[in-house]
Structure 1
């Protein structure tokens, strides 16, 4: 892993090392010092191919997402809140769990989705909660934990989860220990009044973190998030989970990795 002062960082291969074809990013991440990776969608490759790439590079798979629609489609951020699309959601969860088990991934993130036009907020949210409860039942004996994430409304207008409290409330409502919060520092910095206060409040419900700076969604140190306070909060709380580096490098992946020592000390 890239480990600094007790914090463990995983490379998100959708966002980092994009100078290379996807299958070459595993070796590049390992060469940069990472021992864990995450990425949203493994489904373009047979699971056996990805297992081999992980093993050859000496990497651990941390997280994948359940399937979503194509970029630009109404389903691009997930099916979970879409009435009438339960069959696609359930098929995606089954496939996601199959891949997560094969890859030995700790987490499967269930993207909540964008509320469709003409569907009330309450109806979409109720449908989402019911789908998460179903998925929790499917995952119970798999060894895979399910993650719920709030996404900011600037980047994802109409996203069914309002904020961290809303996502945490779904975890509580489902009431399963393997359903946890994914706290994304970038998204929270846009939707919450104070990202550090929100982190302190919701970290006990979070099993995984992701980060990027804001504005711009590049590496820490390129925007206005108080990273020293963020990382001090994590260390003070004894957070020992992974932190996914889900950002768009400002000037290239390897050149941008200096932030780990500069901003997490």
Structure 2
């Protein structure tokens, strides 16, 4: 396996690692994943919306999740708003007229859960284009809902993340270029005046879209709120595909990025604990 941290100047950013427990350790029940992450040396994690299609899970369900993280000594640093990933297709709800009320109902629940677990970033998937509404109508709805979410996130000192997905896997998703996501980020910040909307730069999705990752870093690093990584092709751990992570990490450092880097890949062997050889254990604990 390629050593992506061989040279000090190319090292994975120290203290920035988070592990996405919605995709890694997916071979275990959700409530067992924080402990498994801790055993692998991680102290911070992130999650897609962990309650399936339910925007307002019961207090008991939320308490179970809090207990799993607390018992493991793992901090949840990032959480998705209701994303409908339980359907197997990333799509989001905030720009879809028939789903807007579910998104709005979820916002205060997700924000309260994030605050109780220490999360400082909330990710809002934009949503798919639909046939019964025009793109312009959807974009207007999306902006209103993103402003609502940004203000709620701001109330707990969190940032609102907006990300690009990739067209081959999410052909109807509205934001499939970095430029498109940045445009939305800027519109939300202009509307709220808060400045807490940020771009979630996902190397895998951007690479699968054919974007120049170095160019994206150079152009937009000052608008990054979070970075997520997986190799391409395959969405496996670094070293299983073609991406030059040593160069990408160096470019992030040169651009002044000091935020977190989330591991959001599918382990190539199917066993998550075996997929971290590329990242020395001493770099897995987050600040």
Show the 5 A alignment for 1:1-265.
4=12, 6=14, 8-43=16-51, 46-69=61-84, 71-72=86-87, 77-175=91-189, 176-251=194-269, 252-261=271-280
Output the CA distance in 2 between the equivalents of 1:22 and 1:122: 38
Change in Cα spacing, 1:120 to 1:242, as seen in structure 2 (3 Å) is: same
Output the CA distance in 2 between the equivalents of 1:14 and 1:141: 26
Q: Deviations over 1:114-152 (max 9, x none)?
A: 111243222222221221112223333222221111111
Change in Cα spacing, 1:222 to 1:73, as seen in structure 2 (3 Å) is: closer
Q: SS at 1:260's partner residue?
A: coil
Q: SS at 2:42's partner residue?
A: coil
TM-score when scaled to structure 2?
A: 0.83
Q: SS at 2:31's partner residue?
A: helix
Change in Cα spacing, 1:59 to 1:158, as seen in structure 2 (3 Å) is: same
> Which structure ranks higher in relative contact order (CA pairs < 8 Å, sequence separation ≥ 6)?
2
Output the CA distance in 2 between the equivalents of 1:206 and 1:81: 22
What value does the CA root-mean-square deviation take over the aligned residues? 2.2
Q: Deviations over 1:209-265 (max 9, x none)?
A: 11111111111111111211111112222322111111000012122111224xx9x
Give the number of equivalent residue pairs: 260
Change in Cα spacing, 1:223 to 1:8, as seen in structure 2 (3 Å) is: same
Match of 2:6 in 1: none
Q: 2:122, 2:153 within 8 Å by CA — same for their partners in 1?
A: no
Moved more, 153-162 or 19-28: 19-28
Change in Cα spacing, 1:73 to 1:239, as seen in structure 2 (3 Å) is: closer
Output the CA distance in 2 between the equivalents of 1:162 and 1:5: 27
Which runs of no fewer than 5 residues in structure 1 stay unpaired?
none
Output the CA distance in 2 between the equivalents of 1:15 and 1:255: 14
Q: SS at 1:61's partner residue?
A: strand
Output the CA distance in 2 between the equivalents of 1:192 and 1:100: 33
Output the CA distance in 1 between the equivalents of 2:127 and 2:201: 17
